[in-house]
Amino acid sequence: QVQLMQSGAEVKKPGASVKISCKASAFTFSTYYMHWVRQAPGQGLEWMGLINPRDASTDYAQTFRGRLSVTRDTSTSTVNMELSGLTSGDTAVYYCAREAGRLKDFDYWGQGTLVTVSS
């Protein structure tokens, strides 16, 4: 069955960067856009960015442009999300999600990765 397995929790200091991975299995990796969505504690969902694994093209939310980088490794069917310039406001659970092959919804989600930013 389709699975998105994310890397483990991270604790970072303000100003640092964090890199989270999302390994896909049981589907043709290059065929589906992959997205990143985050959720701060007690808050709602926030769309961050996407990548087309076929050609590595990306699109990012304006809020994150300049400090967000989404990449992919087709040899391991893995998508990576790197966020730099961390502040306490970046403390959140980060999810990867697959865009369904239909009409711009997200049909499979990773389990989430908690990133805590604290001095």
Partner 1 sequence: QSALTQPASVSGSPGQSITVSCTGTSSDVGGYNYVSWYQQHPGKAPKVMIYAVSNRPSGVSNRFSGSKSGNTASLTISGLQAEDEADYYCCSYTSNSTPYVFGTGTKVTVL
Amino acid 99 reads E
Contacts of residues 49-56 at CB distance under 8 Å and 24 or more positions apart, as own/partner, are: 49/81, 50/99, 51/79, 53/29, 53/79, 54/30
- Cβ(65)–Cβ(82) below 8 Å: no
As measured in angstroms, the least distance from the Cβ of 62 to partner 1 is 5
Instruction: Identify which range of 10-18, 22-30, 76-84, 98-106 contacts partner 1 by CB under 8 A.
Output: 98-106
Which residues ranging from 38 to 97 are in contact with partner 1 (CB under 8 A)? 44-47, 50, 59, 61-63, 95, 97
In whole angstroms, give the CA distance from residue 40 to residue 93. Answer: 6
User: Does residue 27 interact with partner 1 by CB under 8 A?
Assistant: no
Residue with Cβ nearer partner 1 (4 or 86): 4
Binding site for partner 1 (CB under 8 A): 35, 37, 44-47, 50, 59, 61-63, 95, 97, 100, 102-107, 109-112
